[in-house]
Amino acid sequence: MVGRNPLLSVNCALEPSKCQITLPPRAESIVRVPVTPESPNVGMTAKYELQEGVYMAAALTKVVNGYALTSILNTNEVETDIFEPTVHLDEVDFAGEDDYNPEFEPRDREQSIMTQLRLDHLNAEERRALIATCSDFHGQCKKSHPHQDSIPGLSSK
């Protein structure tokens, strides 16, 4: 949709509870929706069907002035008007650097990656090239990071 603003505007009557959003046919739109006051400042919207053929995606979003951005998909063949939904954001547990635990990191990351490669669809030459590329990449990472013990997955334990 070249030249079209992907952030849809809302047509509000005098009552804010009567706000409607017009969705273009067979399109995904980024929409600003109101958030319940008890929602966290950053959280996840729930995925659900707003009405037949119109779906709101589960999205990680941030509250700004009581509103959050989310994605709404209109699968209908016609332009569709919906009432502006008020959403509640679910709390998200962010894993920080302090949460890293080397016990859960595989001892030999290169071997772990190699066993996870899907190679069945490749011929012998392609298989060798992919394995060599992965090995070279891992080796280059080790060489370019002499303090590799501080980098998850590159420790030489």
> In terms of domains, do 50 and 104 share one?
no
Asked if residues 72 and 29 have their Cβ atoms less than 8 Å apart, the reply is yes
> In terms of domains, do 58 and 13 share one?
yes
Mean pLDDT of 72-87: 93
> In terms of domains, do 118 and 79 share one?
no
Find all residues with CB under 8 Å of 61, minimum gap 6, and list them. Answer: 42, 43, 44, 45, 68, 69, 70, 89
Mean pLDDT of 136-157: 52
Q: Is 28 part of any domain?
A: yes
* Planar angle of CA 28, 32, 37, nearest 5 degrees: 135
* Planar angle of CA 10, 13, 16, nearest 5 degrees: 75
Q: Is 144 part of any domain?
A: yes
- Domain range for 139 is 99-150
pLDDT of residue 156: 45
Q: What percent of the chain has pLDDT over 90?
A: 43
* CATH code assigned at 71: 2.70.40
> In terms of domains, do 86 and 104 share one?
no
> In terms of domains, do 86 and 31 share one?
yes
pLDDT of residue 4: 41
Asked if residues 26 and 5 have their Cβ atoms less than 8 Å apart, the reply is no
Q: Which of 67, 23, 17, 72 is CA-nearest to residue 48?
A: 72
* Number of domains present in the structure of the chain: 2
More confident residue, 15 or 88: 88
Per-residue confidence band for 121, with pLDDT thresholds at 50, 70 and 90: confident
pLDDT at 106 over 90: no
Domain edge (last residue) among 69, 90, 111: 90
Q: Is 80 part of any domain?
A: yes
Distance (Å, whole) CA 9 – CA 30: 10
Which of 19-33, 66-80, 106-120, 123-137 is the least confident region? 106-120
